[in-house]
Structure 1
Amino acid sequence: MKNLIIALFLAVLSIPAFAQNTEENNPVTEKQAQESPESDGIRTGINPSSGDLYYGLTRKIMYDRMIPPHGIEVTFDKTVHLIFPSPIVYVDLGSANIVAGKADGVDNILRVKAAIRDFSTETNFSVVTDEGSFYSFNVKYADEPQKLNIELKDFTHDGEAVNRPNNSLDIYLSELGKETPKLVKLIMKSIYDNDKRIYKHIGSKKFGIQFLLKGIYAYDGMLYLHTQIKNSTNVPYDIDFIRMKIVDKKVAKRTAVQETLIVPVRAHNYVTRVNGQAVERTVLAIQKITIPNGKQLVFDLYEQNGGRNQSFVIENEDLVRAERINELKIR
């Protein structure tokens, strides 16, 4: 009996050690159980950079959805210039180790250089241009960058549409409303290439210069005006500027003239000179407008340092007759 009591006493004393050994040998501790997906369906305390682990249901981004970045080198004592095919509308820098800005008086050249000497960590920056291209760059420091002046290519080219590189995106800019810069550019190019004359009664001809409105086209919230300048003289015609304005048809004397300027948001083949005995055409894109009763749209063309100015009038009935663009024909 005495031996039985001693055996039971020793067994009771060994329970804590057994429990402790069991907890030490068990790889799932109480803390790990709380972090386990089976505990409450949410992963906590996991470093996201340790692997493909995300909160909730996710889908892996494939490489064909990725925009490959360009790699450039910058330094503190020299400036790297990036020349884009169209004006820059957005720049975002990854860190304060670099500085960037558009060149003075130029909209399509970006200056980039190091803000501090010998920064060690790689950084990046992104650029969006007004024709809808997105460019991404990875940047590292170098005492002597190999490339100081870099020309970037446009996403539209002479190849097939399916052969566009990865920076061809459906980027929307506020000035174009619901249209993408890519679609607006393709529409203007299609109008220019077709070279169709719809209107034969709108134009001006003076001093050997003929200024015509060949057609007005409409697509969603945009209007496209196809114009032509013909120089029948031997003296080049240098264009100072164009101006479109909505004005009253009849203005009484001593009455203030109220004008509404219409500013084109895009232009295809915008010319600044028409040589002698030459013809040039331009397609302008403007926001959709209508002309109120008693008003008209006046289109002025001014010669630089000259007096061979041209002007014609567009009525509201001309606008409502704008030809509808068939999207299937321009893609």
Structure 2
Amino acid sequence: MKNFILISIFLFGTILTTAQTSFRLDTIYANDQKNVALFFPEPIRQGITGSENFVFTYNRDKGQYFGLLQAKPGKESNLLVVNKNGSVFSYIVKYRKKLDRLNYFIPTSKSIGNEKPIVADSTTIVKREDTIDNRTYYYNEFCSYLNNRKQRIGRLKKRNEGVILSVENIVFDKEELYFVIQVENKSSLDYDLNFLKLSVETRKKGKKKSLQRLYQEPVFKYNLPSKVKENETVRLVYILPKFSIGNDRRAVIELNEKNGERNLKLKVSHRFINNPN
């Protein structure tokens, strides 16, 4: 299981705390010559850096209390760590050729919040208008992160008269699959979108070969446009409940033009669906 976590957890954790406090993040320095060890009060469940020139390693199988940070020269970034009990820790990370400190023992008091709601008083009444849809918030933030990430799963493209449909990435997170889709319009005409659908096709064997198609309804759509202007590229994300398919089945993404014939069908093999990032 490959699970991505992003900067939104910082926002998510702080929103769910009872006090709306502004945190000033501490800075941790690292380089590519030495390991900088970070010791946490609880075992590490998840940890990620915001830039590829920083690497944070920890034991994903056994919940150990420490992780190791290394860095290559480049711009500063951030480190986000979630402990087993849900405590969230966030730091600014920078590259420094000479290190003054190699070990950080991090107390519980340095936590910026918890990824789950903390109820201070069971009698507290929360007004409906003050609550937020945390799931929608998470979807939006994670989709934004994936859209900006340069990771790709393979060369999955289909072209038709200057319109290019591609699947840039397929990511598994929290029992759901995120399809990062790109629509590029290199033609001289705007592309008015009628629909974009994802289905699973089953190829029936026998003398009378036929296809059985089952449409998959997304639980969330991110940045779905109604129009892709000429020379414009749009990236969007479809979130679907986790599923897997056999080698006799394939996923199909259909892009249909409104009042036009520049329609595309992109077939995605079972190996991409069953082995997401």
TM (norm. structure 2) is 0.52
Residue identity opposite 1:168 in structure 2 = I
Residue identity opposite 2:155 in structure 1 = H
What is the 5 A alignment of 1:1-331?
A: 61=122, 65-68=124-127, 134-135=128-129, 166-168=130-132, 170=134, 180-192=135-147, 194-249=148-203, 254-323=208-277
How far off its partner does 1:205 sit? 1.2
Q: Distance in 2 between matches of 1:287 and 1:253?
A: 34
Identity in percent? 19
Partner secondary structure for residue 145 of structure 2: helix
| Count of residues in Structure 1 that have an aligned counterpart in Structure 2 | 158
- 8 Å CA contact 2:220, 2:238 repeated in 1: yes
* CA-based RMSD: 2.3
How far off its partner does 1:311 sit? 1.4
Indicate how the Cα distance of structure 1 residues 235 and 167 shifts in structure 2: closer, same or farther if over 3 A, else same: same
Q: Distance in 2 between matches of 1:262 and 1:273?
A: 23
- 8 Å CA contact 1:196, 1:215 repeated in 2: no
Residue identity opposite 1:187 in structure 2 = F
Q: Distance in 2 between matches of 1:205 and 1:300?
A: 12
How far off its partner does 1:236 sit? 0.4
Deviations 1:144-176 (A, max 9, x none): xxxxxxxxxxxxxxxxxxxxxx41365xxxxxx
How far off its partner does 1:285 sit? 0.4
Residue identity opposite 1:181 in structure 2 = T
Deviations 1:54-112 (A, max 9, x none): xxxxx9656xx4334xxxxxxxxxxxxxxxxxxxxxxxxxxxxxxxxxxxxxxxxxxxx
Residue identity opposite 1:66 in structure 2 = I
Residue identity opposite 1:211 in structure 2 = L
Q: Distance in 2 between matches of 1:295 and 1:216?
A: 17
Quick one: higher RCO (CA 8 Å, sep 6+), 1 or 2? 2
Q: Distance in 1 between matches of 2:205 and 2:227?
A: 34
Q: Distance in 1 between matches of 2:202 and 2:133?
A: 42
Residue identity opposite 2:136 in structure 1 = P
- 8 Å CA contact 2:204, 2:212 repeated in 1: no
- 8 Å CA contact 2:180, 2:238 repeated in 1: yes
Aligned residue for 1:147?
none
- 8 Å CA contact 2:157, 2:266 repeated in 1: yes
Q: Distance in 2 between matches of 1:319 and 1:185?
A: 22
How far off its partner does 1:240 sit? 0.6
- 8 Å CA contact 1:247, 1:260 repeated in 2: yes
Aligned residue for 1:110?
none
